[in-house]
A and B are shown apart, each in its own frame.
Chain A
Amino acid sequence: MNQKDSTKLGVVVSGSLSQGILARLDSNTSVEDITVGHLVTIQGNTRRFFGMINDISLETSDPGILLTPPEAGEEFLASVLRGTTTYGTMQIVPYLTLGSDESLIEGPQPVKSIPSHFSPVYLASETDIELVFGKEGSKNFFIGNPLDMEVKLCLDLPEFVTRSNGVFGKSGTGKTFLTRMLLIGILQTDAAVNLVFDMHSEYGWMGTREKASPVKGLKQLFASRVSVFTLDEKSSQERRVSTDFVVHLGYDEIEPADIELLRQTLNLTDQAVSATYQMRQRFGQKWIEKALALESDGETEDVLKSLNIHEATFQNLIRGLNVICRLPFTSPHVETRAVDKVLEYLQSGKHVVLEFGRYRDITAYILVANLLTRRIYSRYRENTEKAMAENRPRPKPLVITIEEAHKFLNPAVAGQTIFGTIAREMRKYNTTLLVIDQRPSGIDEEVMSQLGTKITCLLDSEKDIDSVLAGMSGKSGLKSVIAKLSAKQQALVFGHAVPMPVAFRPRDYGSAESYEQFGKMPAVSDSQDLEDLW
């Protein structure tokens, strides 16, 4: 459909604020041109409404047509019926209005009324999109184009990072590409500093691309502002990644809480988990080393008895600890702690991508992500509290990106893990999450509801769609939009950082031209932003 400033689609014929607006398509609007997810404006008498098409249907005013529909060859009859006795309707969810007094100053406001009968419905124009979502600027990052439109859709990233956010979608729908773009945006707009737990090593240096050559990672675009940490030096060298630091974990850095999160992956019993706490208390920081040593020790039985730990539980625990100790990046003790190094980089404003190389198994990922995040978060929290107490500016916001988020945030563990805490505490300590997951239904409901902005690519399981939309108004409408997104590079964004939901096609990533666009740091241009600087 072409994007003229006033493509009239139809007129309002019925509806309600809770159920949405029903508009009848004009007879010259082909129902085939209307797509769910399109943004429309409705021109009421005194105000303008912004909404999204979420359903389309075919109607007939005379059931007789269903008995004797035009036959082949009765083209004229068919063409007359189209748009008259038989017609299309579209269901529109109104989200915003513009035109009442306050909105003239404040911009579009959430809807509290609906347009009157026969108000004309137009396809949203480029100016409408800019009015609602803002123009590209030093805070507004260009993330893609609304479906079938040329205009740039922008996201206010400083606002975005004030809450934890989520990127969802089936495997292969473009989550990684979308996330990479958001990370670049956060870097470009200087909205926050990123810490990425890069399970599949695709953000820092070289990302894979289906059926095409690899794409550049963040460090290749912003060499001086991004550092790549690796758990797997060999793999990084083989891939010719210029790494900044090789991460090793000492057993003595691992706390019982880190083990607790691994309960499922290490197959630990509840008793084994509580045994870790007893051991920690008994043996101090070197508890893992000492517990492992116990095995070959004659005194084992006595110690276990005194701790009231069963032999079977002990064996169960030892098996689990052995899995950790066999991870090539762990050793009894390391000199330079990764936590300190990560913090040092983050505090100097550098973005950190930690790549896992070959250690993609979930045990390594959970262990490392959880361990580092817990320490980093507590440091951030101290710093923030101190800054507030001393009336200094708070540290720069930190965004922690995790994949396979349901492993950290499923209902069984979300209550205890650091990630659950961060998701729930919102912006309190300037740290938020960017969670990426292909199975959002696996994530704890409460955590899902705390996520500020959600960007979702195609999801096809009802359960996943429901969990992503939990708590949204106009849910049923958005459901059909999500289910109808195309299998790649289309997404719906809604929630805190956008005034209304919008389906869009994320920016292309991977061409020389795209690198040039993404690699640029925007110049501060608008006068408003200059004022902000003052």
Chain B
Amino acid sequence: MDEASSRIAEVTQASTAGFFAQCYELFDLPPLGSLIKCRDGENEILAVTCNASTSSLEPGRRPIARGKTELTEEDVFRSNPQLKQLLKSEFEGVVLGHSFNNEYYHYLPPRPVKLHSFVYLCTTDEIAEFSRSLEFLSLLTSARTDIPSEELVAACIRFISACHADPSTFTAAAGKKLAQIFVDDYPKLRTILLRLKL
């Protein structure tokens, strides 16, 4: 993946624990639970995507249904080219860690990402490297999101496991780690684990 094609979005709101980003292409949203990164000089901040949405650019104005007479959904956009200018695709990134001097740290970076930072998709190698330590699970599981956090955790583990040479081993290890994190919350642990497969 080259630099340009992996650059998918731009930060529009940032805080220590996470950020909002708007996609350059409408609907070109990274999948739930995938890993993205922003640069800060030499260093990077890694995050997991969640709460993706596509909505009207103008707050308070909702698009109206236009497809009654169209044959396909694509035809709706073809007949109304202005729509692409009125809509935006956005998502939220929950920070899972950062790199400093080429090393990954699985805790919050000293500063949030800068506004208008570019958002890139992480490569398979980066993801595998970052998730060699399962410590990132503690930020992941404590994320406060609009969607149920069990969903985010499960999606993220599914996504990361696919980047490992042996996905089952990774998933099994992550499961054990989750069991430690949720020692006193069996229902939550159970919900997550039932969304994973070896």
Q: Report A's interface with B, CB cutoff 8 A.
A: 27, 61-62, 64-65, 68, 70, 74-77, 79-81, 83-85
Nearest CB of chain B from residue A16's CB, rounded to whole Å? 25
- Contact status A61-B183, CB under 8 Å: yes
Q: Does B187 contact A (CB under 8 A)?
A: yes
Which B residues are CB-close (under 8 A) to A65?
186
- Contact status B176-A80, CB under 8 Å: yes
Q: Which of B175-198 contact A (CB under 8 A)?
A: 175-176, 178-180, 182-187, 189-190, 193-194, 196-198
Known: A76-B193, A77-B190. A84 touches B180 (CB 8 A): yes
Q: Does B143 contact A (CB under 8 A)?
A: no
0/1 interface trace, chain B 95-117, chain A, CB 8 Å (1 if under): 00000000000000000000000
- Contact status B175-A76, CB under 8 Å: yes
Q: Report B's interface with A, CB cutoff 8 A.
A: 171-172, 175-176, 178-180, 182-187, 189-190, 193-194, 196-198
Nearest CB of chain B from residue A376's CB, rounded to whole Å? 68
Which B residues are CB-close (under 8 A) to A81?
179
Can you list the 7 inter-chain pairs with the closest CB atoms, starting with the nearest?
Answer: A84-B179, A80-B175, A64-B186, A62-B186, A77-B193, A61-B183, A85-B179
Q: Which of B183, B186, B197 contacts A76 (CB 8 A)?
A: B197
Which A residues are CB-close (under 8 A) to B180?
84
Nearest CB of chain A from residue B190's CB, rounded to whole Å? 6
Which A residues are CB-close (under 8 A) to B172?
76, 79-80
Per the bound structure, the CA–CA distance linking A80 and B177 in Å amounts to 9
Nearest CB of chain A from residue B157's CB, rounded to whole Å? 12
- Contact status B176-A76, CB under 8 Å: no
Which A residues are CB-close (under 8 A) to B183?
61-62, 84-85
13 pairs, CB–CB < 8 Å, chain A vs chain B: A27-B176, A65-B186, A70-B190, A74-B194, A76-B171, A76-B196, A77-B193, A79-B172, A80-B172, A80-B189, A84-B180, A85-B179, A85-B186
Per the bound structure, the CA–CA distance linking A81 and B183 in Å amounts to 10
Main secondary structure of the interface of B (DSSP, over half): helix
Which of A61, A64, A80 gathers most chain B CB within 10 Å? A80
Which A residues are CB-close (under 8 A) to B196?
76
Per the bound structure, the CA–CA distance linking A70 and B194 in Å amounts to 10
Given contacts A61-B184, A79-B175, A80-B172, 15 further A-B contacts (CB under 8 A): A62-B184, A64-B186, A68-B187, A74-B194, A76-B172, A76-B198, A79-B172, A80-B178, A80-B179, A80-B189, A80-B193, A81-B179, A83-B176, A85-B182, A85-B189
Which B residues are CB-close (under 8 A) to A79?
172, 175, 198
Which A residues are CB-close (under 8 A) to B198?
75-76, 79
Per the bound structure, the CA–CA distance linking A136 and B73 in Å amounts to 87
Which A residues are CB-close (under 8 A) to B179?
80-81, 84-85
- Contact status A77-B194, CB under 8 Å: yes
**Smallest CB-CB separation from B188: which chain A residue?**
A64
Nearest CB of chain A from residue B154's CB, rounded to whole Å? 12
- Contact status B176-A68, CB under 8 Å: no
Per the bound structure, the CA–CA distance linking A61 and B184 in Å amounts to 7
Per the bound structure, the CA–CA distance linking A62 and B187 in Å amounts to 10
Per the bound structure, the CA–CA distance linking A36 and B189 in Å amounts to 33
Known: A76-B196, A79-B172. A64 touches B178 (CB 8 A): no
Which of B178, B185, B189 gathers most chain A CB within 10 Å? B189
**Smallest CB-CB separation from B185: which chain A residue?**
A62
Which of A61, A81, A84 gathers most chain B CB within 10 Å? A84
Nearest CB of chain B from residue A81's CB, rounded to whole Å? 6
Nearest CB of chain B from residue A129's CB, rounded to whole Å? 33
Which A residues are CB-close (under 8 A) to B186?
62, 64-65, 68, 85
Nearest CB of chain B from residue A402's CB, rounded to whole Å? 58
Nearest CB of chain B from residue A74's CB, rounded to whole Å? 7
Nearest CB of chain A from residue B36's CB, rounded to whole Å? 28
Nearest CB of chain B from residue A359's CB, rounded to whole Å? 68
Per the bound structure, the CA–CA distance linking A65 and B179 in Å amounts to 12
Which A residues are CB-close (under 8 A) to B182?
85
Known: A76-B198, A85-B179. A64 touches B193 (CB 8 A): no
Which B residues are CB-close (under 8 A) to A75?
198
Nearest CB of chain A from residue B177's CB, rounded to whole Å? 9
**Smallest CB-CB separation from A27: which chain B residue?**
B176
Per the bound structure, the CA–CA distance linking A70 and B198 in Å amounts to 15
Nearest CB of chain B from residue A381's CB, rounded to whole Å? 68
Per the bound structure, the CA–CA distance linking A466 and B179 in Å amounts to 42
Per the bound structure, the CA–CA distance linking A111 and B189 in Å amounts to 42
**Smallest CB-CB separation from B196: which chain A residue?**
A76
**Smallest CB-CB separation from B198: which chain A residue?**
A76
Which A residues are CB-close (under 8 A) to B184?
61-62
Per the bound structure, the CA–CA distance linking A84 and B193 in Å amounts to 13
Which B residues are CB-close (under 8 A) to A62?
183-186
Nearest CB of chain A from residue B186's CB, rounded to whole Å? 4
Per the bound structure, the CA–CA distance linking A62 and B178 in Å amounts to 14
Per the bound structure, the CA–CA distance linking A85 and B186 in Å amounts to 8
Which A residues are CB-close (under 8 A) to B176?
27, 80, 83-84
Which B residues are CB-close (under 8 A) to A68?
186-187, 190
Per the bound structure, the CA–CA distance linking A400 and B190 in Å amounts to 66
